[in-house]
Amino acid sequence: MALMITDECINCDVCEPACPNEAIYQGEEIYEIDPDKCTECVGHYDKPQCQQVCPIDCIPLDPDRVETKEQLLTKYYQLTTAK
């Protein structure tokens, strides 16, 4: 699954620089995650870095974007070889 940021976000600015795929960006109201770039940090880290740094725990799995670890790893390879 990709991750998502809920409306509990306080715009503290710590998640955006923590994302190795640059999937997090400032939306109209709160930070948002581009699900096409989110690999839950698979390929980079053992745990999603945005979840690790979020002070209020507002970054759950997105139930609308179910992906296996293999799919996330494939996305990681596509993102890193395109750079």
- For residue 50, what are the domain limits? 15-81
Residue 29 placed within a domain? yes
Question: How many structural domains comprise the chain?
Answer: 1
Residue 6 placed within a domain? no
Residue 7 placed within a domain? no
DSSP state of 35: T
Residue 10 placed within a domain? no
Residue 83 to residue 28: CA distance in whole angstroms: 27
pLDDT tens, position by position, 43-67: 999 999 999 999 999 999 999 999 9
13-38 mean pLDDT: 97
Residue 42: give its domain's CATH number.
Answer: 3.30.70.20
Residue 4 placed within a domain? no
Is 39's pLDDT higher than 60? yes
pLDDT level of residue 83 (50, 70, 90 thresholds): low
